[in-house]
């Protein structure tokens, strides 16, 4: 009797222990994993747990399915394989209760990706759940579909999602809108099915629905020319109204960020305006005033405001804007460039790169500040500024710009030297018509960071010297001096040794001196010593036979 009672009591205990909650067991697994001192220990814990889960799966255990799914997700996050658990997601999703579906759908989106065939098996459950009477279950299905569906599933379930766009519940509507985005990305042909609903949903008041629908409209325009034209015709007025209302809105605690009402809505509408106004004068005209309002009215002391201004400038530069509006945009850029916040400076440099296509002169005006950014403490900013400087180089400014860059080369960080060297060499080669200037820059760079100079660059240098007899004397003397001063950079040594080998006679006899030069005294033995020292230091391949070179030089000098 006792034992029967105890068995039933245990069973009751097990039931009440609640298969829905993770209970102490999930916690215990997590604790055990965290307590592992070595990777091997952790692997042992995981192996043990996976074995238990596999057993439960093959027993078709219902009670702990939920908890086991949670464990599987945790194990998966650590990076271990969990394919054996994929079917469990399906079983949970197919169950009737909300808690099972909740964790089942989560498991689905975490353990699987769209390329797995197992995913197709969920289509039926999804279809049922999209038609469920419980709005939260509909939401789970929309969320899962929106995160993970394949093109085939998108096609299958598009009609359900289209229908859900018309539902009354705003939570369902917004999820349906975002789900539609994924559907259209996977199957662009379906874009026209959604454009009517999307346009009419712009009349909604619920912000969640609005931001989702506006984003859907943007996506539709990208997917289909027809949708783009349709939305141009039917949504511009509505968009202007939405932006105006939210921009003029008084304090709304639910949506307030740094004193601005719903910056996210601002930004999405601005983005859609860009898509609609691009290459369309009519549409651009319609949005002109509201863009000016946002550009002048938005506070720029906090990130939220700057995020809006950034999007606004992007839109102004992307559409057929008036010159007045463009001036506004460039002014914002100018202010951004001097902002103390390095995020803003980084973003400004980005915008300026794009502005190059629209108004090069305006960007040139900021050249000095941009050059300062090449020396910024932040490597992301340095890189971006360097790219921009490269685009700004022209015949008029190439010499002062290059001088600044070469000066900076000396003090820059090692991890930036490679980029900087490459860019300088690239600039200098482009403007190498002034051969003397080109040589001077190359010699300086070889001296400072020759190790980063690519082979084809110093090969080109050698070719130029070979073909410029009037500059060979100058070259060999400059390189000799550089070698004496600091012969630590390998490429410098290579080029110098080649040059001395070829033109040693000019070196020793000060032949074809230029006006800018002062005579130097180099004896034959000086020259040979320099070569020998260099060769000793770098016993690597030299252009031409090494011993022959030094013999040649001695012979050359002796003649």
Partner 1 sequence: WILFQVHCHLIFLFFSASSQINFVLLISRQGKVRLTKWYSPYTQKERTKVIRELSGLILTRGPKLCNFVEWRGYKVVYRRYASLYFCMCIDADDNELEVLEIIHHFVEILDRYFGSVCELDLIFNFHKAYYVLDEILISGELQESSKKNVARLIAAQDSLVEAAKEEAGSISNIIAQATK
Query: Phi and psi (nearest 5°) for 261?
Result: -80, 120
Q: Which stretch binds partner 1 (CB under 8 A): 177-185, 234-242, 367-375, 473-481?
A: 177-185
Contact 103, 65 (CB under 8 A): no
Between 264 and 452, name the residue whose CB sits nearer to partner 1: 264
* 74 in contact with partner 1 (CB under 8 A): yes
Residues 246-305 that bind partner 1 (CB under 8 A): 254-255, 257, 262-265, 267-268, 271, 274-275, 278, 303-304
* 18 in contact with partner 1 (CB under 8 A): yes
User: Of 367, 404, 397, 359, whose CA–CA distance to 385 is shortest?
Assistant: 367
Could you say which of 53, 110, 191, 329 contacts partner 1 (CB under 8 A)? 110
- Cβ neighbours, 10 Å, residue 96: 7
**Strand runs labelled E in 86-218:** none
Between 173 and 494, name the residue whose CB sits nearer to partner 1: 173
The minimum distance between CB 197 and partner 1, in angstroms, equals 17
Residues 365-404 that bind partner 1 (CB under 8 A): 377-381, 383, 391
Between 11 and 511, name the residue whose CB sits nearer to partner 1: 11
The CA distance from 385 to 377, in Å, is 12
Between 169 and 526, name the residue whose CB sits nearer to partner 1: 169
The minimum distance between CB 531 and partner 1, in angstroms, equals 41
The minimum distance between CB 392 and partner 1, in angstroms, equals 10
Token pair for 436: 């003397």
- CB neighbour class for 292 (10 Å; exposed up to 12, middle 13-18, buried from 19): middle
The minimum distance between CB 309 and partner 1, in angstroms, equals 9
Could you say which of 23, 196, 208, 543 contacts partner 1 (CB under 8 A)? 208
The CA distance from 182 to 469, in Å, is 65
Between 310 and 503, name the residue whose CB sits nearer to partner 1: 310
Could you say which of 75, 141, 174, 374 contacts partner 1 (CB under 8 A)? 174
Site string for partner 1, 308-327 (x = CB under 8 A): --xx--x--xx---------
User: Of 362, 366, 453, 369, whose CA–CA distance to 406 is shortest?
Assistant: 453
The minimum distance between CB 116 and partner 1, in angstroms, equals 10
- Cβ neighbours, 10 Å, residue 376: 17
- Residue 153 CA: distances (Å) to CA of 119, 124, 223, 271, 330: 9, 10, 18, 29, 46
Could you say which of 86, 98, 123, 204 contacts partner 1 (CB under 8 A)? 98
Between 307 and 527, name the residue whose CB sits nearer to partner 1: 307
Token pair for 139: 């939401």
Between 134 and 523, name the residue whose CB sits nearer to partner 1: 134
Between 89 and 181, name the residue whose CB sits nearer to partner 1: 181
* 536 in contact with partner 1 (CB under 8 A): no
Residues 26-65 that bind partner 1 (CB under 8 A): 27, 30, 34
Between 55 and 77, name the residue whose CB sits nearer to partner 1: 77
Residues 150-169 that bind partner 1 (CB under 8 A): none
Residues 182-201 that bind partner 1 (CB under 8 A): 182, 185
For residue 257, list its beta bridge partners: 260
Whole-angstrom distance between the N-terminal and C-terminal Cα of the chain?
Answer: 121
The minimum distance between CB 528 and partner 1, in angstroms, equals 46
DSSP codes of every residue in 501-552: HHHHHHHHHTTT--TT-------HHHHHHHHHHHHHH--S--SS-HHHHHHH
* 142 in contact with partner 1 (CB under 8 A): yes
Q: Which stretch binds partner 1 (CB under 8 A): 43-51, 66-74, 516-524, 532-540?
A: 66-74
- CB neighbour class for 114 (10 Å; exposed up to 12, middle 13-18, buried from 19): middle
Between 133 and 547, name the residue whose CB sits nearer to partner 1: 133
The CA distance from 547 to 554, in Å, is 11
Q: Which stretch binds partner 1 (CB under 8 A): 72-80, 404-412, 452-460, 527-535?
A: 72-80
Between 30 and 546, name the residue whose CB sits nearer to partner 1: 30
Could you say which of 128, 147, 451, 466 contacts partner 1 (CB under 8 A)? 147
* 118 in contact with partner 1 (CB under 8 A): no
The CA distance from 356 to 105, in Å, is 47
User: Exposed e or buried b for every residue in 451-475, given b needs 16+ CB within 10 A?
Assistant: ebbeeebbebbbebbeeeeebbbbb
* 173 in contact with partner 1 (CB under 8 A): no
The CA distance from 51 to 46, in Å, is 8
Between 65 and 444, name the residue whose CB sits nearer to partner 1: 65
Q: Which SS3 state, helix, strand or coil, does residue 365 take?
A: coil
* 113 in contact with partner 1 (CB under 8 A): yes
- CB neighbour class for 127 (10 Å; exposed up to 12, middle 13-18, buried from 19): middle
Residues 455-474 that bind partner 1 (CB under 8 A): none
Could you say which of 5, 59, 415, 515 contacts partner 1 (CB under 8 A)? 5
């Amino acid at each position: 009797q006792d034992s029967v009672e105890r068995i039933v009591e245990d069973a009751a205990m097990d039931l009440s222990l609640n298969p829905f909650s993770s209970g102490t067991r999930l916690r215990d697994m997590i604790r055990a994993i965290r307590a592992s001192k070595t990777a091997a220990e952790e692997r042992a814990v995981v192996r043990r747990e996976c074995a238990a889960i596999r057993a439960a799966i093959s027993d078709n255990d219902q009670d702990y399915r939920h908890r086991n799914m949670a464990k599987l997700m945790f194990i998966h996050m650590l990076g271990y394989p969990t394919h054996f658990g994929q079917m469990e997601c399906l079983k949970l999703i197919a169950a009737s209760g909300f808690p099972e579906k909740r964790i089942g759908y989560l498991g689905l989106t975490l353990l699987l990706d769209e390329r797995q065939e197992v995913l197709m098996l969920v289509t039926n459950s999804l279809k049922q759940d999209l038609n469920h009477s419980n709005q939260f279950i509909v939401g789970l299905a929309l969320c899962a579909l929106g995160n993970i569906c394949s093109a085939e599933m998108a096609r299958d379930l598009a009609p359900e999602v289209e229908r859900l766009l018309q539902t009354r519940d705003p939570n369902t509507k917004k999820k349906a809108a975002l789900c539609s985005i994924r559907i259209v990305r996977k199957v662009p042909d379906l874009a026209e099915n959604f454009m009517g609903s999307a346009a009419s949903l712009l009349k909604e008041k619920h912000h969640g629905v609005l931001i989702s629908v506006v984003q859907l409209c943007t996506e539709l325009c990208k997917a289909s020319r027809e949708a783009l034209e349709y939305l141009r015709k039917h949504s511009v007025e509505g968009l202007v109204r939405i932006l105006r209302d939210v921009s003029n809105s008084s304090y709304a605690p639910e949506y307030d960020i740094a004193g601005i009402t719903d910056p996210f809505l601002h930004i999405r509408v601005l983005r859609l305006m860009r898509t609609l106004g691009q290459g369309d004068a009519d549409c651009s005209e319609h949005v002109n005033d509201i863009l000016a309002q946002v550009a002048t009215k938005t506070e720029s002391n906090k990130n939220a405001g700057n995020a809006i201004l950034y999007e606004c400038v992007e839109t102004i530069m992307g559409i057929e804007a008036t010159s007045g509006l463009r001036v506004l945009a460039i002014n914002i850029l100018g202010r951004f460039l001097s902002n103390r916040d390095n995020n803003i400076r980084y973003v400004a440099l980005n915008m300026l790169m794009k502005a190059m296509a629209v108004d090069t002169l305006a960007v040139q005006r900021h050249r000095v500040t941009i050059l300062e950014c090449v020396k910024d403490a932040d490597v992301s900013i340095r890189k971006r500024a360097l790219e921009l400087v490269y685009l700004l180089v022209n015949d008029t400014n190439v010499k002062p710009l290059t001088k600044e860059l070469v000066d900076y080369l000396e003090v820059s960080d090692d991890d930036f030297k490679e980029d900087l060297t490459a860019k300088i060499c690239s600039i200098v080669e482009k403007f190498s018509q002034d051969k003397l200037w080109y040589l001077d820059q190359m010699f300086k760079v070889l001296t400072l960071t020759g190790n980063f100079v690519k082979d084809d660059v110093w090969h080109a240098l050698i070719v130029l010297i070979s073909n410029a007899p009037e500059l060979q004397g100058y070259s060999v003397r400059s390189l000799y001096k550089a070698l004496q001063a600091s012969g630590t950079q390998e490429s410098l040594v290579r080029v110098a040794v080649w040059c001395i080998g070829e033109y040693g006679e000019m070196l020793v006899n000060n032949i074809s001196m230029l006006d800018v030069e002062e005579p130097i005294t180099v004896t034959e033995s000086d020259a040979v010593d320099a070569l020998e020292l260099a060769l000793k230091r770098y016993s690597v391949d030299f252009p031409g036979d090494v011993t022959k070179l030094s013999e040649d030089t001695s012979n050359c000098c002796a003649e």
